[in-house]
Amino acid sequence: MSMADATKALEVRPASLADIPTLTGMIASSARILSRGYYTGQETESAIRHVFGVDSALIADGTYFVATLGGRLAGCGGWSRRQTMYGGDQRPVGALDLLDPARDAARIRAFFVAPTAARRGVGRGLFNECVRAASASGFRALELMATLPGVPFYAALGFETIEQITDELPDGTPIRFVRMRREI
């Protein structure tokens, strides 16, 4: 299947609470496979326990999406009008307070691509849906906390690095992220 065919077959829909178990498994698989060479095995497993996961507040807000290719789960990701920068239900990082679109950047959140769907336009398709929705809600900029394997993808989308951070997870494992921003 060519890239054009894969993009045509991509379907993006709002996530539902019923999707969480399937997404949780795909997120863990994505992290374990696509983080190789960026994070150690210990960092990856700790991040799966404490950071990488679905944030059900995004689902409740209607801002989290599921992508499928040919009817098969290919990825997930969303945007937020809340201050939370990253993390899933197990450990959201940041307040749930609403952002002001006139002065704040919407958050791009919890993007994961199934390893079998990597480099097939899934992340870009999810991102385009997030940009459309955030822009329709009045936001003029986007911010995110990128995982190390996500940095090249987000840079290709026009994001610029604001800062590099290290978050010490509850088990003492340090994990590195890159805060990034771009205008819509």
pLDDT at 8: 64
For the chain, the distance separating the N- and C-terminal CA atoms, rounded to the nearest angstrom, is: 31
Please determine, for residue 181, whether its predicted confidence score (pLDDT) is greater than 70: yes
Query: What superfamily in CATH does domain 3-183 come from?
Result: Gcn5-related N-acetyltransferase (GNAT) (3.40.630.30)
- Under 8 Å between Cβ of 41 and 28: no
> What is the tens place of the pLDDT at every residue in 22-73?
999 999 999 999 999 999 999 999 999 999 999 999 999 999 999 999 999 9
pLDDT at 96: 86
Q: What is the mean pLDDT of residues 137-153?
A: 98
Please determine, for residue 173, whether its predicted confidence score (pLDDT) is greater than 60: yes
Higher pLDDT, 1 or 96: 96
Please determine, for residue 3, whether its predicted confidence score (pLDDT) is greater than 70: no
Q: What is the mean pLDDT of residues 136-160?
A: 98
Can you give the residue ranges of every domain in the chain? 3-183
pLDDT at 76: 98
pLDDT at 74: 98
H or E, element range at 13: strand 10-14
Residue 116 phi, psi (nearest 5): -70, -15
Q: Which residues contact 7 (CB under 8 A, 6 or more apart)?
A: 120, 121, 125
- Output the six-digit token pair for 62: 């209607």
> What is the tens place of the pLDDT at every residue in 74-132?
999 999 999 999 999 999 888 889 999 999 999 999 999 999 999 999 999 999 999 99
pLDDT at 95: 84
